[in-house]
Amino acid sequence: MTTESDRLREARLAVGYRTASDAARAMGVGVSTYINHENGNAGLARSAKRYSRFFRVSLDWLLHGKGEMAHHKPSKYSIPIHGLVGAGAAVEMIGDTTEITPPDTIEMPGDGEIAGLIVRGDSQWPRWQEGETILYDPRPVLPQSLIGRYAIVQSTDGRRLIKILRRGKTERTWRLDSHNAPPEETELIGAWRYLGTIAAS
């Protein structure tokens, strides 16, 4: 019979955090607080919902061991597509005879979990400008699932960045590419999927 602390540890390992300290820093909770929860030195009652959302597990499973470990995914939702927009050097007229037929709707990325981050700095200009809102899935994923893509990452020194993620020179490091800054290589404690952008108001 597992305890809630056993299940918390299982949930952490399932999403790829090697250590309790890494998971705590990625969540923004006190390292000693989280370790006490995972070691069974403190109950989870006040923090269980946060842990459940972060690790993508059922709250009932985490607290009581009932049901399946994973959340039931919420239904996806769609947005209407109103046609095409030019983004090249010259914008061609789009008529009824075009070979490109856009879909009527498109499903939003992810499965309904969306959070925002405000852009600071210009290392990724012109892709993003200061003050814009980055939309991302707040549930962590393994960095290797985002290789070659824009990703929100958190480095071991605490910085949270949006970068193009590449493999590093060693097994534990990752290369972070920018448009207007030299690439850097660092260890990561978290990675999240980029979903979209909202322009600054």
Fold of 115-198: Umud Fragment, subunit A (2.10.109)
Fold of 4-64: 434 Repressor (Amino-terminal Domain) (1.10.260)
Total Cβ atoms within 10 A of residue 112 = 11
Q: What is the pLDDT of residue 68?
A: 87
The pair of three-digit structure tokens given for residue 52, joined into one six-digit string: 């459940």
Q: How many helices (H) and strands (E) does the chain have?
A: 5, 9
Which residue, among 45, 9, 14, 6, has the nearest Cα to 24 in the 3D structure? Answer: 9
Q: What is the pLDDT of residue 97?
A: 47
Residues of the chain with CATH 2.10.109.10: 115-198
Residues with Cβ within 8 Å of residue 32, at least 6 apart in sequence: none
Which residue, among 110, 193, 115, 117, has the nearest Cα to 160 in the 3D structure? Answer: 117
The answer to whether residues 22 and 142 touch, using CB atoms and an 8 Å cutoff, is no
Q: pLDDT in tens for each of the 201 residues of the chain?
A: 789 999 999 999 988 788 999 888 888 788 999 999 999 999 888 899 989 988 889 999 999 999 888 865 555 666 777 666 666 655 455 554 455 666 677 666 666 678 889 999 988 888 899 999 999 888 788 898 999 999 999 998 888 999 999 999 998 899 999 998 999 999 998 899 999 898 887
Residues of the chain with CATH 1.10.260.40: 4-64
**Interior CA angle at 196 toward 58 and 70, to 5°?**
10
